[in-house]
Amino acid sequence: MRTGKEYIESLKQRNIKVYIKGQLLKSEEVVDHPFIRGHVNSAALTFDLAHDPAYEDLMTTTSHLTGKKINRFTHIHQSVDDLLKKVKMLRMISQKTGTCYQRCVGFDAINALYTVTYEMDKKLGTEYHERLKKYLINWQENDLMVAGAMTDPKGDRSLRPGQQPDPDMFVRIVEKNDKGIIVRGAKAHMTGMVNSHEMLIMPTMGMAPDDSDYAVSCAIPVDAPGVIHIFGRQTNDDRKCEGDIDQGNARYGIVGGECLTVLEDVFVPWDKVFMCGETEFSGLLVERFACYHRQNYGGCKGGVSDVVIGAAAVMADMSGYGKAGHVKEKINEMIHLTESLYACSIACSAEGKPTASGGYFVDPLLANVGKHNVTRLIYDIDRLAQDIGGGLTATLPSESDLRHPEIGKYVDKYFKGVAGVSTEDRMRVARLIENMTGGTALVESMHGAGSPQAQKVMYSKLGNLEHKKKLALHIAGVAANKDK
């Protein structure tokens, strides 16, 4: 298993093409660029924690393929206990970073592909599952960070992939030969992509038979020829080029450092192709991945919210109103909402079941309920934090003003709270609240792992409404008339 330092050094060996604000970075600049450094640090922690005896039970496990000790982020769930430990691990890491650490998407992608390729091979006689197992062994042996890549730009949302005026709005196969395939298109909102080793491509939706070129899953190095990454903007991201106070979370950043990844006729050898035109299994892969990924959110957002709660409480103490009844009530409400999120992730894990492949899968209905709660309750948690934090969380002067030889004394004087707490410390906590409850973080809570409508679609599939009707008819004493 890699250490964090080894992970960072491995990133420097890539020949990756990354653009930020219209500028192409040199490969050696990517890891240390101010916009990217925090995301690298948070991912690095997932490697370091695996070597800490205090977290060994959560961070490591035994490979069912090799029998070797591996980082849990490279594991295929073999039991309900694995599903539960995943959620507990995510909350623990989030408590330490206060942000995204980016390895979950690839983790969920490999688990979804593991179960689906097995079922695909059984029905169609393909050989994808054996290919995937060989790829997974290499992933585990080298402790890779692999970015899951599902979301396509989609173009005109009223049209299917094959109906788009521009066929590249969904990643597609443009050529097949005896050596492999060539793919073209783009993947959007790619979390952790620029600080990963490889990407795992998946279809973004269930494909119709006419869309077979879009039913593709494969693994591609992030620095493969034809791959271009265009890094996305984040709230207040230019502050990362300044001092650390104004960043709020200077070490680990905001969310996951998303980007647009362009695939301009990228070659993929057959041993890294895991779906190639099998449209009938594309929808199943999307649903499996989505449920695994939605399982996460009560864990990771629970841990992030723990930090938000702590920051709000500390700001109240620093400002002299920590013992006020209404503040205590708001903090208790934040705790209630956070534990409600966590409970859904624990519940969908506890209700997990084995698939035909042997890999365990979460309860899909409860996983979707948990993610849908995140799209609502995080806004309430963050609203309460902003309420408690006060207006200065959005209007503070800069760190440069605090350090200024002439006006610094006024910033220090007029933004002081209770005696014994420095203005600098109070500013740091205020900026942390701003950072963690602001625009980019909230949008990710809404749309990460699918928008609220995506969860509602799953409810219609999984809610078993007809069974509920029968329950009501039976209790009402009209079950015999159910056909009328």
**Euclidean distance between CA atoms 20 and 30, whole angstroms:** 10
Q: Which residue shows structure tokens 């740091």?
A: 428
Q: Phi-psi bin for 102: left (phi > 0), alpha (psi -120 to 50), beta?
A: left
Q: What b/e string do you get for 92-128 counting C-beta neighbours within 10 Å, with b at 16 or more? A: bbbbbbbbbbbbbbbbbbbbbbbbbbbbbbeeeebeb
What confidence tier does 270 reach under pLDDT thresholds 50, 70, 90?
Answer: very high
Give residue-wise pLDDT tens across range 78-125: 999 999 999 999 999 999 999 999 999 999 999 999 999 999 999 999
User: What amino acid is encoded at 263 in this protein?
Assistant: L
What mean pLDDT do residues 216-242 have? 96
CA distances from 372 to 297, 351, 366, 450 (A): 10, 18, 10, 9
- Fold exhibited by the domain 4-283: Butyryl-CoA Dehydrogenase, subunit A; domain 2 (2.40.110)
Average pLDDT, the chain: 96
Q: Where are the domains of the chain?
A: 4-283, 292-471
Burial class (CB in 10 A: 0-12, 13-18, 19+), 408: middle
Q: Is the pLDDT of residue 481 over 90?
A: no
Q: Is the pLDDT of residue 484 over 90?
A: no
Same fold: 4-283 with 292-471:
no
The percentage of residues in the chain with a pLDDT greater than 70, rounded to a whole number, is 99
What mean pLDDT do residues 223-229 have? 98
- Fold exhibited by the domain 292-471: Butyryl-CoA Dehydrogenase, subunit A; domain 3 (1.20.140)
**pTM of the shown model:** 0.95
Q: Phi-psi bin for 229: left (phi > 0), alpha (psi -120 to 50), beta?
A: beta
Positions annotated as catalytic residues are 100, 104, 191, 258, 293, 297, 300, 444
Structure tokens at 68: 């070797």
**Euclidean distance between CA atoms 292 and 300, whole angstroms:** 13
